[in-house]
Amino acid sequence: MNTLISEHFETVAPSEADAVLARESSRRLATHKLGKRSSIRIQLLDDGEEAETVAVPASALRLFLHLLTEMSQGNAVTLIPTHAEMTAPIWSSCWTKAESPAEPSASTAAFASTT
């Protein structure tokens, strides 16, 4: 079943402070080589709470790194599943006229950066 992008997905525009934090954290994460791992454990820390370790797919961490890299450059980002159906306003905001494919397809990147 297709999902309309405009109904369920949020575009996040980083503040200047977010961009600085994304730059620092993406650089630190990039130093960790994931290789061919299928999963990786990350630790979540909250003030005053005990740390929790969570296993996530390594591919999700790679995507997160791409997201942080875009945010570090001040780019707004939207994560879009490849099965989702893009509405015309959303589709046009993801591409400039020079690079716009004729129509959205399943092969279109699932991660769109908008400025």
For the chain, percent of residues with pLDDT exceeding 90: 45
- pTM metric for this prediction: 0.65
Write down the pLDDT at residue 39.
Answer: 94
Task: Report the pLDDT averaged over residues 22-33.
Answer: 92
Task: Report the pLDDT averaged over residues 14-28.
Answer: 96
- Write the pLDDT tens digit of every residue in 78-103: 888 877 666 656 556 665 444 445 54
Residue 58 in this model has a pLDDT that exceeds 60: yes
pLDDT confidence bin for 35, thresholds 50/70/90 = confident
Domain chopping of the chain, boundaries: 5-114
**Measured between alpha carbons, how far is 105 from 93 in angstroms, rounded to an integer?**
16
**Measured between alpha carbons, how far is 22 from 20 in angstroms, rounded to an integer?**
5
**Measured between alpha carbons, how far is 63 from 46 in angstroms, rounded to an integer?**
23
Write down the pLDDT at residue 106.
Answer: 40
